[in-house]
A and B are shown apart, each in its own frame.
Chain A
Amino acid sequence: MKRNNLPINKPGRAAMLVLVAGMTTLMTGCVTANLKVSPTANIQNVSDKKIPLSVGLMLDDRFCTYRALILNRPLIPLGPVLKQQSISLCEQTFKQVSVSTNGVVPAGVRATLTPEVHRCGVATHETGNDFTLLLQWTLRTVDNRNILWMTTVDGHANGSPDKVYQLLFDDLATKSYQAFQASPEIKQLITKRSGTTW
């Protein structure tokens, strides 16, 4: 078909380009690389009393550089925020936290704790995004081999791009904190060490 046979005029084509660009933005949920999230983990009903345990927080590259998928493409850089939030959360939860990003267990810790993104689902709307992020926490023995305890918390958030990430990380922080507090294996570890119940 010859080009001039297409019944489209120049203003029409321009309008089309604007519409297609707008649609692409909508389909990607107005993604921006700059995620607005507080550097400190916001935990609801946080206790002044920290869990009396020294943990090695094991953060690997996969976690620290994680990107959530939109339209099956890795577009949202959640990794740096996940890293920052995990450190802040653990510092507010445990008496002592040593961070490792190279796989080597820090000296003097009683157990290791590893966060992992198990899955992330993002539904895109014209008004923003709807997130579900499954964050898995694994507590291992001090040699980082045997699993002592594992849980997966599901963070949910729905809203415009300027609010949704804060809501998501607030939900993840609170649920993770509650899971640490409720863990029978963490309680057992403390009892084993100090001989007292926590």
Chain B
Amino acid sequence: MQKKRILLTFSISVAFLALAGTGCSTVTIPQYTAGLSKDAKTVESQGLIISVDPVLDSERADTYFKVNPAGKGIGIIYLQAENKSVNATWLLDEKNMHLTIAGQSGDMNAEDQYVKGDYGKAYAYTAGAVICSAALLGAVFILASNQAAENASIIQKNFVDKEWHNQTLAPGQQVAGFIYFNLGINSRWAGSSTLRIDCINVRNHQTNTITFPLTYETK
């Protein structure tokens, strides 16, 4: 009897902590308005100006993505481009944006980097609901699970909302957006990596390669 009571008390505590842990509310994420940070690097080549700005500060990551990029194992880079040439149209395609990390073989392009949602918490709460000892507690777990799944899907969709749009950039046009790279958890990629962008002038099909060495101090 004593065991049962302890189990019940424990379950109630866990269930309500689960509900509290989800924040009991729907997450809202603002549009990106911060522009380039002080860490941004800018290169101009053949009239094409590109700025690269890795999101390394937790404040920006939390405000605009609601994630801890290192903990999620993702590299987030803000990209701005402007075509100031008069006779070149530049193709800026994620397929042609490559990240090479020192000490790792090969590189990855930004095209294949689908950012998955973190539904682990939602699944855990569902499991909690299933194994829970009473229907009322199960309902609490279900509320927590629904909220966690909804928030995870909003966070996941936000990556798409802010993603770079592949396009050709005609003279006078400018564009901005984010590219993402799936990395290992707690990867110190920004300390010793290179972002290479192969920009193709679609008028003469020549490639203008712009390289950004990323050597930021990482914690």
Interface residues, chain A, CB within 8 Å of chain B? 5-8, 11-13, 15-16, 19-20, 22-23, 26-27, 70-72, 118-126, 130, 132, 134, 136, 146-152, 154, 184-185
Q: Quick one: given A121-B156, A121-B158, are A8 and B133 in contact (CB under 8 Å)?
A: yes
Q: Does B150 lie within 8 Å of A154, measured CB to CB?
A: no
Count of A-B contacts with CB under 8 A? 120
Chain B residue nearest in CB terms to A29? B153
CA of A44 to CA of B166, assembled, Å: 24
Nearest-Cβ distance from residue A160 to partner chain B, whole angstroms = 15
CA of A198 to CA of B156, assembled, Å: 42
Chain A residue nearest in CB terms to B27? A123
Q: Quick one: given A6-B133, A16-B130, are A124 and B153 in contact (CB under 8 Å)?
A: yes
Q: Does A121 lie within 8 Å of B160, measured CB to CB?
A: yes
Number of interface residues of B (CB under 8 A): 44
CA of A184 to CA of B134, assembled, Å: 65
Main secondary structure of the interface of B (DSSP, over half): helix
* Stretch from B38-46, B66-74, B112-120 at the A interface: B112-120
Chain B 137-150: CB-based contact to A (< 8 A → 1; otherwise 0)? 01100100110011
With A23-B142, A71-B153, A126-B146 given, can you name 16 additional A-B contacts, CB distance below 8 Å?
A: A5-B4, A12-B135, A15-B135, A20-B142, A27-B122, A130-B154, A132-B160, A147-B202, A150-B91, A150-B167, A150-B168, A151-B167, A154-B165, A185-B89, A185-B170, A185-B202
Interface residues, chain B, CB within 8 Å of chain A? 3-4, 7-8, 26, 89, 91, 93, 114, 116-117, 119, 122, 126, 129-130, 132-135, 138-139, 142, 145-146, 149-150, 153-154, 156-161, 163, 165-168, 170, 200, 202, 205
